[in-house]
Chains A and B, each alone.
Chain A
Amino acid sequence: DTEVTQTPKHLVMGMTNKKSLKCEQHMGHRAMYWYKQKAKKPPELMFVYSYEKLSINESVPSRFSPECPNSSLLNLHLHALQPEDSALYLCASSQDWGRREKLFFGSGTQLSVL
């Protein structure tokens, strides 16, 4: 199994809603990542987890709250988002963090904030 699975594929939410994005991998990878991608732009790193601990937070607003319940799962909790947060949210994983290895990406969640 070389897949990173993200759910849901599409999400529409209001600015007062609370929702969560989920990511799962069963490759035994110890590093997991959240990226945000706007249309026609490269992905921007948001968070990195290594061995289930938060290693990098790229100054992301607190309305985005990551969680890594175990080595296979990564969540992104969303609360009080703004319309400008509408984007494709990509999860990725790699064998280890900081070893310049390739990342495996999921297909993403297309988020629309109304």
Chain B
Amino acid sequence: GAVVSQHPSWVICKSGTSVKIECRSLDFQATTMFWYRQFPKQSLMLMATSNEGSKATYEQGVEKDKFLINHASLTLSTLTVTSAHPEDSSFYICSARDPLAGLSYEQFFGPGTRLTVL
């Protein structure tokens, strides 16, 4: 149980275009999902917390107009990188929390998406 999928696993796009990444909880309902980003040789850094049916909460320094997050259902959250630039090239990974799990604060991760902006 507690499987999270992410799509696509990798994407290459041109500078100025927008890219959408999907995060799905496959066998549980996730009221809260998290989006992280990892640059080379750095740790996973939280970008935003996504709550179903409400606006996402962004971490300091993360532009909410550039990284659009939608959590319209209990099993799907999307991250859209708008007007992507080469400096947005990174590894993006989502996680989801199962409120009904024994350890409700445990986070289950997707496999991540490698974004390369040319």
Chain A partners chain B = no
